[in-house]
Amino acid sequence: MLLSGCSGRHNWLSSAGEEAQTIEPLFWTVVAGAALIWTLVVGAAVFAHRAEAKPHREQQARRFIIWGGAVLPTVVVGALLIWGLFILRDLVADEGDLTVRVDGERWWWRVIYETPEGEVFTANEIRMPLGKTTLFRLTADDVIHSFWVPAMGGKMDMIPGRETKLTLTPTKLGSWGGLCAEYCGGAHALMRFDAVVMEPEAFDAWLQNESSPARITEGDPGWEVFLDEGCGACHTLRGTEAVGQVGPDLTHLASRERLGAGIYDMTPENMARWITDLDAMKPDIDMPAYPYLSGDRLDALVSFLMSLK
Ligand code: CUA
- Rounded CA gap, 29 and 25, in Å? 6
Strands 164-168 and 156-158: unpaired
For the cut 90, the answer to whether the pLDDT of residue 68 exceeds it is: no
Other C-beta atoms lying within 10 Å of the C-beta of residue 220: 14
Which residues lie below 8 Å from residue 213, measured CB to CB, with a gap of 6+? Answer: 238, 239, 240, 251
* Average pLDDT over the chain, rounded to an integer: 92
How many Å is the Cα radius of gyration of the chain?
A: 25
- The ligand 1 atom at the shortest distance from the C-alpha of residue 189 is 2
Q: Specify the CATH superfamily of domain 221-306.
A: Cupredoxins -  blue copper proteins (2.60.40.420)
Choose among 209, 199, 135: nearest CA to 165. 135
- The ligand 1 atom at the shortest distance from the C-alpha of residue 106 is 1
Ligand 1 centroid distance, CA of 302 (Å): 28
Ligand 1, atom 1, residue with closest C-alpha: 145
- The ligand 1 atom at the shortest distance from the C-alpha of residue 182 is 2
Ligand 1 centroid distance, CA of 160 (Å): 13
- The ligand 1 atom at the shortest distance from the C-alpha of residue 185 is 2
Choose among 199, 156, 150: nearest CA to 176. 150
Measured in whole angstroms, how far is the alpha carbon of residue 141 from the centre of its chain? 16
Choose among 205, 178, 301, 299: nearest CA to 250. 301
Q: Which residues line the pocket of ligand 1, CB cutoff 6 A? A: 104, 107, 145, 180, 182-184, 188, 191
Q: What pLDDT, in 10s, does the model give residues 103-156?
A: 999 999 999 999 998 999 999 999 999 999 999 999 999 999 999 999 998 889
For the cut 80, the answer to whether the pLDDT of residue 19 exceeds it is: yes
Alpha helices by DSSP H, 51-123: 58-65, 72-91
Q: What pLDDT, in 10s, does the model give residues 82-93?
A: 998 988 887 777
For the cut 90, the answer to whether the pLDDT of residue 218 exceeds it is: no
- The ligand 1 atom at the shortest distance from the C-alpha of residue 107 is 1
Ligand 1 centroid distance, CA of 250 (Å): 21
Report the pLDDT value the prediction gives residue 89, as an integer from 0 to 100: 82
**Residue ranges of domains in the chain:** 10-54+92-199, 221-306
Ligand 1 centroid distance, CA of 145 (Å): 4
Fold of 10-54+92-199: Immunoglobulin-like (2.60.40)
Cα-based angle 284, 287, 292 (whole degrees, multiple of 5): 110
> Between residues 19 and 7, which one has the greater pLDDT?
19
Three-state DSSP at 95 gives coil
Ligand 1 centroid distance, CA of 182 (Å): 5
Portion of the chain with pLDDT greater than 70, in percent? 99
Tell me if 10-54+92-199 shares its fold with 221-306. yes
- Rounded CA gap, 78 and 234, in Å? 50
Ligand 1 centroid distance, CA of 140 (Å): 10
